[in-house]
Structure 1
Amino acid sequence: MELDVDPILFVIIGCEIGFWLLLFGGLSVRYLLKRPRWSRPILLAIPILDLALLTAVAVDIHGGGEVTSIHRLAGIYLGVTIAFGHSMIAWADARFANWFADGPPPPKPPTGGMPKFWHEARVYGRWLIAAAIASVATLLLSVTVADPEQRAELFGIFPMLAPVTVIWLIVGPVWALLAGRDDDRHGGDSQRIRPGPDVVSRGADSRAVDR
């Protein structure tokens, strides 16, 4: 039985594998071989994968290929890798530095309060950038290589981006904001209720006088 698999899917998988190979390869050269200068061209080659993916999608569409959900997924993947790529590289670099170069432990993300909200807001901002990049790439393909039928199929990416954007907003920044305000309110109440050291000392003095 012959499997009908969109070749763009293999390009996406290849780009993902290539990303991690270049990332860990570059960091291994930097920290294990102690060759930071050699690691730079390896890490700088990562954006070439994004260009390769965009080119593969454009060639496939220009050649009359049927636009499927895989093509729309490629646009989202492209946006995510560009928007989140730098933070992922920094995340891995901090851990390699800690493991192999006596670097400080990587900071842990905040778990509550307003710091948690600002952390979630920054991550959500990266998603908005990813969605914008995916939208621009789709529009670029639609006006350069796509025919009207392919263009209509490409625009199916927008109904995919919209619910993710709304749900992420709710479960990310909004939820963290509400929880952070609740934490601050409870923290303020506990500080108001808890007696200070001067109150405790006065109470102890009064009990001593009574005795």
Structure 2
Amino acid sequence: MIVTLIIACEVGFWVLLAAGLALRYLAKMPRLGAAVLLCEPLMELLLLVVTTVDLGNGAEPDWKHGLAAVYIGYTVAFGHYTIKWLDGHAAYRLAGGPKPAGAGYGKERARHEWKLWIRTVLAAAVALTLLQLAIWYVGDAGDVSSLQGWQAAALRVVGIHALVAAAYTIWPSKAPRSDPEEAPADAAEDRSPLTGR
């Protein structure tokens, strides 16, 4: 049941997001669109309640409860960011808004990656907290090794993401060069008509 609810929450997230953006930019109803987007956190709250009730009714803690905690953590940290990112692109594509800035290159890209890493830390912190609360809630009544395994996985994700951000810092990405076919034409214009140089 919990896995079904997680899938329903994920599908619901994208359905509400599409409906909210369509109302804002296609139907020209920005307030109603914003109201629909504000309903997003209610699904995660429902998932949290159902998971708690399931454990309270004596369900053996397993991977499904851990997945629910990680999903809620991810949504808390990245949900608003995702909505804002897609809203910017919808405004650009559908309402003539400014083109959203990309992640950039070099130091700018490295800063972007470290900001995303901070979101990953937040996601992990929420998941670790929920998992620990579940462990305490279950107490000695059940095997909590699955929940502890999810805690270890969340910490590994934080470490891996830190390595990715560090890689962008140590080896900064470079902006792509301009089209090589255009370079000779530019160079030809700069040459002296007498010497060809």
TM-score class, shorter? 0.7 to 0.9
Post-superposition shift, 1:103? 0.7
Aligned counterparts of 1:37 and 1:62: Cα–Cα separation in 2:
39
Name which of 131, 149, 152 aligns with 1:156: 149
Identity fraction in percent = 34
Letter in 2 for 1:80: Y
Distance 2:15 2:48 in 1: 20
Deviates most, 34-43 or 146-155: 146-155
Q: Superposition pairs for residues 53-202 of structure 1, below 5 Å?
A: 53-110=47-104, 112-144=105-137, 146-148=138-140, 149-170=142-163, 172-180=164-172
Provide the TM-score with structure 1 as the length reference: 0.77
How far off its partner does 1:154 sit? 2.3
For 1:174, give the aligned amino acid. A
Name the structure 2 match of 1:40: 34
The answer for the alignment partner of 2:189 in structure 1 is: none
Q: Residue by residue, what CA displacement relative to the aligned partner does 1:77-117 show, whole Å, maximum 9, x if unpaired?
A: 1100110011100111011111111111121111x311111
What's the CA shift for 1:150?
4.3
Instruction: Report the CA distance between 1:177 and its aligned residue.
Output: 0.8
CA RMSD of aligned residues (A): 1.6
Q: Does the 8 Å contact 2:127/2:151 carry over to 1?
A: no
Kindly indicate whether the alpha-carbon contact (under 8 Å) linking 2:62 and 2:144 is maintained by their aligned counterparts in 1.
no
Structure 2 residue aligned with 1:192: none
Unmatched runs of 5 consecutive residues or more in structure 1 = 1-6, 184-211
Q: CA deviation at 1:141?
A: 2.6
Report if the CA contact (8 A) 2:25-2:90 is conserved: yes
Work out the CA distance in 2 between the residues paired with 1:102 and 1:33. Answer: 15
The 5-angstrom pairing of residues 1-20 of structure 1 reads 7-20=1-14
Aligned pair count reads 173
Structure 1 residue ranges (4+ consecutive) displaced by more than 3 angstroms after TM superposition: 150-153
Q: Amino acid of the residue matched to residue 88 of structure 2?
A: A
SS in 2 for 1:155: helix
Q: CA deviation at 1:54?
A: 0.7
Q: Distance in 1 between matches of 2:149 and 2:54?
A: 17
Report the structure number with the largest CA radius of gyration: 1
One-letter amino acid matched to 1:92: L
